[in-house]
Every structure is written in C-alpha cells, then in structure tokens.
C-alpha cells in the first residue's frame, strides 16, 4: 500500500438517491496513498495523482478523495482535461462529484478552450452547463483579441462571454470600455450595456447601449450615442458606424458638429462618409454656421437635404443645400431651390428662382452670389434677369432692373451698386420735413419723407451710390434716357417693371422661419 510504485484502484458506490450524474464515482490512480488518520472516508494520495469522473480527467501532485461525499481536493500542478479542446490548470482545486462543479485557484487559474485562453486567480467551472465563472479579475486572449473584467461568465459550448465591471475589449485596431458586455468568440459580436467608449485609430464612439463586431468593426448604438472623428461629432438616437469604411449613419434627432468651423447640421436622418469626405442630413434638415464673436450674425439654412463636403484636412469646405432652401442671418435672408455655401470664403450661391433680402431691399435674379465678412454683407452679384425692389408704401416701389448687378458693401453697409446692361430704373424722390402735433398737450415733432417726384428711364449701365443705407446719387452710362415725373403722372408701365414680384410674406423674420415655405 505504501510502495512507491503501488497503483491503487478503489471504486465506491455513493449513497442511494443521487442524480444520474452524481451516481458516478470518482476513480483514481496514484503512486502512493493512505487513509486519513481521522477520517477513513478520505484517501490521501501522492505522486502523479490521476482521477477520472464522467469523462473528465484530473491530474495533480497530491490530493484528498472523500469516497463518501464523492469529492476531490488536489494540490500543485493541477491539470483538468474536460474534452479534446478544453483544459483547466491551476495550483489548487476542489471538485464536487455530485454537483459536477470545479473550483480552482492559485497564482493563475487558466482555462484553455480551443484558441480561447482565460486567466484568473480563482475560477469555478460548472460541467452541467459547461460554464466558467470568475469574480476576481479575468483576462482572456483569443488571437489579437483580449477581454478584461472584474467578474464574468464563459459558456464553452457557445463560446459566449458575459462579463461585468471595468470591462475592456481589445483587438488589433480598437478598444472598447464598458460596464457590461456580452461577447461571442465565434461571431465576434459584442453587445454592451452601460456607459461605453469605443476607441479606434481615428474615431471614438460613445454610447450607453448597442452592439459592436470586432471583425467587421461595425457598431450600432441606441442611447446617448455619438461618434467623434477629429473635429467632427455625429449624434443621433440610433447610430451605425463602420470603422473600416469610416462610414456612419444616424436616425432621429441627428446632429453633425464641426467644432473647427463652428458648423452644426441637424435633421432626422443623416450619414457621414469620411473616406469620401462628406456628410448629409435630411428630413427637417438645418445647418447653422455660428459666429463665435457675434452670435447674432450666425447663418441658419434649411432645405430638404443638406450636404457638407470636407477638404483634405477634414475641414468643412462646401455646403450644398437642395430643395425648398431658406436662409436667415440678422442682416440678410434668402430663399431658392438650391444653394452652395463656401465656408472659408463665406460665399453663398443661390440657384433656382432665388430671392435675397437685405434691410428694406429685395433682390431677384436667375443666380445670386452673396459674400459675407465679419461685418456682414461684403459683395452681392446678381446674374441674369436681375431686379432690386424696395417698398415705400402699399403701392409705391423703388425698382431697378438689368441683366447683371454687383452690389458692394463696406462694413456691412451698401457703398454702391453697378447696374450692368439694359438698366432700367424707377425711383421715387423724397425730401424730409417735420410734422408737428400735440399729444396730451405736449408738442411732438416727427420727421417725415414726402415724395416730390419720380425718376424713371433706361440706360446701358448705371451706378447708384449709397450713404447710411440710402441712395444719394445715380450715374448713368451709355445713352441714358431718364425722365422725372410727378408722382401722380408716373406712366403705368413704370409703376411695375416687367418681372415685378414682391415676396415679402416669404421673408424669414426669425431663424425658425426657415422651415416655413
């Protein structure tokens, strides 16, 4: 019995009434063995201990076998073979043959399941569910992927992980931090719950609930989600992002921020394509070009669809707005069918029956180009079928018409306007006087403009000079034919020039009016 080479084979029947699994006895081999001096049900085993239970093999330097309870405690150089591909190693272990649960601990308990390697100071393995459990930090490696968490479960049959507390999922190109993670090693699908951050080479994703695949590098995020790429931020109720294609998609409450250019796009649906360097939003789409120094001078534009194109430095370069386009600035407003806005130059080009309003003026043409600077409007170019209209009262309108026009501004105020090719003008001459009246026995003086005549006529070209937003002089070039009429005798054809249309009811009065068509 005490011989070094003695092989001991003992088979014991467990108590009647155990389950089918628990009825099976633990069998063993050992170089040496003896009964415990205080408990004859316990065998003390030494030297190359080997045990088997229901297809599982256990190896150790020494062990205690309780034949009555059918449990097994082993020490040093523990190795458990669960099947052809799954093993567990550690320093000490306890196995209950009735519950079929292994508890193993040491400096490092290691579960190897195919290519998956789980290391933890203490591990429990339930053979009934083929489930590993740890509560003292686990580190898992599978190829280039690693998982770290304070506690977790691993299901060997499905290769599913459920891990909690300070979770980190890493692969060769990304890192995911969260509180709760469900991850499958075969499909590489991860579902995260709780505040989550996903880092990649150039993108950071923030969310509180969603999925991520470490192979395709595609993510779906559903709560508190945003994608950050340099100065660009994409948010929405639902976010999809493909990190391989640098492509993002957002649904409901969509917002695209460009912090470098103080640019914001909002809508109910949007996409961003970083490889092709553009983003777009649609459905209640709005783009806001904020003025950090003068917030009241911020530009608001609405259209059915808004595209933002970036340059090679990932800076917003061009904004294109299509269908039912309206814009609002404190100093000017517009509407058209489509619009191009060059961000760096603050140049807005309006196409498709455009209208531009400035102060009391309405500008129409086939195409309108408006350039702004820090003071406001700098230059307005009207091309083909141009007309300027200013209303004096319900029936009188100042009007200028030509093929092309160029309006120049200084510090946001008009300096002069060049009226080029086939110029026509109808302009009311006024003078200021004072109206004196008594209000509650108090003398009140009010300035008033009185109409003294009307200038009307044609010329090849004209130039109108302004001071304090008022025209002060008109120069005509190339065979001018101008007449001055009394107000009451102005010919009917000059009262409304051909192409006249007054669209003041469509002018945005507030930034929110850009949504009204």
**What pLDDT is attached to residue 30?**
87
Last residue of a domain, one of 78, 113, 148: 113
Rounded to an integer, what is the distance from CA 424 to the centroid of its chain? 52
Last residue of a domain, one of 113, 145, 161: 113
**What pLDDT is attached to residue 23?**
56
**What pLDDT is attached to residue 444?**
66
**What pLDDT is attached to residue 172?**
87
The reply to whether 136 falls in a domain is: no
The reply to whether 227 falls in a domain is: no
List the chain residues with pLDDT less than 50.
Answer: 1-22
**What pLDDT is attached to residue 94?**
96
Last residue of a domain, one of 93, 113, 133: 113
* Measured distance CA(306)–CA(320) in Å, rounded: 6
Count of the separate structural domains present in the chain: 2
**What pLDDT is attached to residue 314?**
76
**What pLDDT is attached to residue 440?**
67
The reply to whether 242 falls in a domain is: no
**What pLDDT is attached to residue 3?**
37
**What pLDDT is attached to residue 16?**
31
Is there a contact between 11 and 23 (Cβ–Cβ < 8 Å)? no
**What pLDDT is attached to residue 473?**
85
The reply to whether 451 falls in a domain is: yes
* Measured distance CA(299)–CA(309) in Å, rounded: 17
The reply to whether 151 falls in a domain is: no
Q: How many helices (H) and strands (E) does the chain have?
A: 2, 36
Is there a contact between 447 and 434 (Cβ–Cβ < 8 Å)? yes
Give the CATH number of the domain where residue 459 resides. 2.60.450
**What pLDDT is attached to residue 108?**
86
Is there a contact between 380 and 370 (Cβ–Cβ < 8 Å)? yes
How far is the CA of 348 from the CAs of 186, 261, 371, 385, 418, in angstroms? 53, 16, 6, 19, 19
**What pLDDT is attached to residue 20?**
40
- Global pTM value: 0.78
* Measured distance CA(202)–CA(212) in Å, rounded: 17
Give the CATH number of the domain where residue 58 resides. 2.60.450.10
The reply to whether 384 falls in a domain is: yes
The reply to whether 121 falls in a domain is: no
What the block records as the tokens of 54 is 């229901």
Q: pLDDT of 338-350, one tens digit each?
A: 999 998 889 999 9
Q: Residue 75's domain spans which residues? A: 1-113
């Amino acid at each position: 019995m005490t011989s070094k080479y003695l092989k001991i084979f003992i088979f014991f029947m467990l108590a009647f009434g155990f389950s089918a699994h628990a009825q099976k006895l633990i069998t063993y081999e050992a170089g040496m063995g003896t009964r415990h001096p205080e408990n004859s049900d316990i065998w003390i085993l030494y030297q190359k201990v080997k045990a088997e239970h229901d297809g599982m093999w256990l190896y150790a330097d020494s062990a205690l076998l309780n034949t009555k309870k059918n449990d097994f405690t082993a020490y040093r150089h523990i190795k458990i073979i669960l099947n052809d591909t799954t093993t567990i190693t550690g320093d000490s272990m306890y196995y209950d043959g009735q519950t079929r649960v292994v508890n193993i601990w040491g400096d490092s308990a290691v579960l190897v399941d195919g290519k998956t390697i789980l290391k933890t100071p203490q591990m429990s393995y339930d053979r009934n569910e083929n489930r590993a459990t740890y509560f003292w930090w686990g580190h898992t490696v599978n190829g280039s992927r690693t998982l770290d968490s304070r506690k977790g479960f691993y299901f060997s049959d499905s290769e599913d992980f459920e891990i909690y507390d300070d979770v980190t999922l890493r692969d060769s190109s990304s890192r995911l931090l969260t509180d709760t993670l469900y991850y499958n090693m075969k499909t590489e699908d991860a579902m995260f719950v709780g505040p989550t951050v996903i880092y990649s080479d150039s993108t950071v994703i923030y969310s509180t609930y969603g999925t991520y695949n470490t192979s395709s590098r595609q993510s779906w995020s559903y709560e508190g989600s945003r994608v950050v790429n340099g100065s660009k931020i994409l948010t929405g109720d639902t976010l999809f992002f493909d990190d391989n294609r640098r492509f993002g998609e957002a649904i409901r409450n969509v917002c695209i921020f460009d912090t470098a250019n103080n640019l914001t796009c909002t809508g109910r649906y949007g996409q961003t394509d970083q490889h092709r360097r553009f983003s777009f939003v649609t459905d209640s789409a709005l783009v806001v070009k904020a003025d950090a120094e003068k917030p009241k001078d911020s530009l608001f534009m609405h259209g059915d669809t808004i595209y933002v194109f970036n340059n090679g430095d990932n800076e917003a370069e061009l904004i294109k707005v299509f269908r039912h386009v309206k814009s609002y600035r404190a100093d000017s407003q517009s509407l058209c069918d489509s619009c191009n806005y060059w961000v760096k130059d603050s140049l807005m080009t309006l196409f498709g029956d455009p209208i531009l309003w400035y102060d009391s003026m309405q500008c129409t043409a086939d195409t309108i180009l408006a350039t702004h600077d820090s003071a406001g409007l700098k230059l307005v170019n009207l091309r083909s079928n141009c007309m300027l209209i200013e209303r004096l009262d319900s029936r009188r309108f100042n009007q200028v018409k030509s093929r092309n026009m160029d309006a120049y501004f200084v510090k946001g105020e008009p300096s002069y306007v060049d009226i080029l090719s086939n110029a026509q003008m109808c302009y009311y001459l006024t003078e200021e006087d004072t109206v004196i009246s008594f209000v509650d026995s108090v003398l009140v003086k009010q300035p008033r403009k009185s109409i003294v005549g009307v200038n009307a006529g044609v010329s090849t070209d004209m130039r109108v000079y302004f001071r304090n937003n008022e025209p002060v002089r008109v120069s005509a070039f190339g065979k001018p034919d101008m007449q001055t009429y009394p107000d009451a005798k102005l010919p009917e054809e000059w009262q409304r020039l051909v192409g006249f249309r007054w669209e003041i009811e469509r002018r945005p009065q507030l930034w929110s009016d850009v949504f009204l068509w």
